[in-house]
Homo-oligomer: A and B are copies of this chain.
Amino acid sequence: MTATTPDPLSELPGRIMAREMAEQPAVLRRILDEGAPGIRKVAQEIAARRPRFVLLTARGTSDNAALYAKYLLEVRLGLPCGLTSMSTTTAYDARPDLTDVLVVTVSQSGGSPDLVASTRSAREAGAITLAVTNNPDSPLAGVSEYHVDIMAGPEKALPATKTYTASLLALYLFVEGLHGGDGAPAQVLPDLAAQLLARQDEVRALAARYRFAERMVITSRGYGYPTAKEAALKLMETSYIPALAYSGADLLHGPLAMVDNVSPVIAVVTDGKGGEALQPVLDRLRGRGADLVVVGPRSQVEQASAGFVLPTEGVAEEVQPVLEITPLQLLAYEVTIARGQDPDAPRALAKVTETR
């Protein structure tokens, strides 16, 4: 193709999102090869200061990455954690004592003024501050004592995809580094992510199921719960289907009333303790005749109405979320295309002008 021939693909709906989803294996590889030593060093320095409590601050997609980090910190390190209610500092001017507290702020751009302000005020209040961003030159990285670069390259699509998986992997390596781990279980992720992306046809077939859906429920437990939340956000941002994410336990406490044979359910089943804890919920959903699609190991998919088999054998439960989200990103994309919309152009958000 010569420079003067317009690329026929360049006008396809969703091409920006598609390209960034496809970059994920390379981004994961880059973090493991080039980023890991720096992340480990930051983790060692922070570990030496012995934080007693961790507060995680983020919005949107990054908030789901922060929730994943919360599970890791609690399960792998036994550190009590909280997600920041940002308005307590930005609107109410709360000034907590943050001695011995590690404040981790996750933001793709590192540019949101409220995140910068709340991180600055946390640092003034005595916190150890760590920014996890895609831009080492960002204001957020500047105000934070420590910085971890997620190395995902510029993200231009409005629905964030590669920065989500990059944030998960960077946070995983950081948390493992806090207790001297080498993060070896993550080495399988780039190749497995590439295998998942090659199965887009399977996802397209699944997407047909949701073409006329008026709502969706997405559920999980444990490490998979952030995946459920991120999948719901992705579906809403792109297709505008109201997608409700619930932990399996919360689903049984009320919202199950919404689930019937016209309210499809997607269950994210991690292969491990989270998936085991979800079994009673899956039994209940099957008992109600719900349309249940499972993203998880083969044995789980076989008991569902349909699904997407994840290669989980030999994959540590705590890194499975990096893989689980990819078929669901693809699903959001394919459902949106099937509904005649453009995943790159959500109605409410300013459309990013792509510059080359």
A binding-site residues for B, Cβ under 8 Å = 52-53, 55, 59-61, 63, 67, 70-71, 74-75, 78-83, 85-88, 90-92, 94-98, 100-101, 114, 158-159, 214-215, 221-222, 225, 233, 236-238, 240, 242, 244, 247, 249-250, 253-260, 273-274, 276-277, 288, 346-349
Contact = CB atoms under 8 A, between A and B. Distances in A.
Contacts of A159: 254
Nearest first, the 10 closest Cβ-Cβ pairs linking A and B are A82-B82, A60-B253, A256-B348, A257-B346, A91-B277, A78-B96, A74-B88, A242-B242, A215-B242, A75-B92
Contacts of A67: 85
Nearest to A346: B257
A161 to B, nearest CB: 13
Contacts of A254: 60-61, 158-159, 233, 236-237, 346, 349
B257 A233 contact: no
A74 B96 contact: yes
A96 B215 CA distance: 38
Contact of A85 (B74, B244, B288): B74
A90 B274 CA distance: 10
A136 to B, nearest CB: 22
Contacts of A255: 233, 236-237
Nearest to A341: B257
A63 B256 CA distance: 17
Q: Which of A55, A85, A233 has the most CB of B within 10 A?
A: A85
Contacts of A242: 214-215, 242, 244, 258
A59 B92 contact: no
Given A78-B96, A237-B255, A254-B233, A274 B346 contact: no
A253 to B, nearest CB: 4
Contacts of A233: 254-255
Contacts of A256: 348-349
Given A74-B85, A80-B101, A96-B74, A91 B258 contact: no
A244 B85 CA distance: 18
Contacts of A257: 236-238, 240, 346-349
Given A255-B233, A258-B236, A87 B277 contact: yes
B70 A85 contact: yes
A79 B84 CA distance: 12
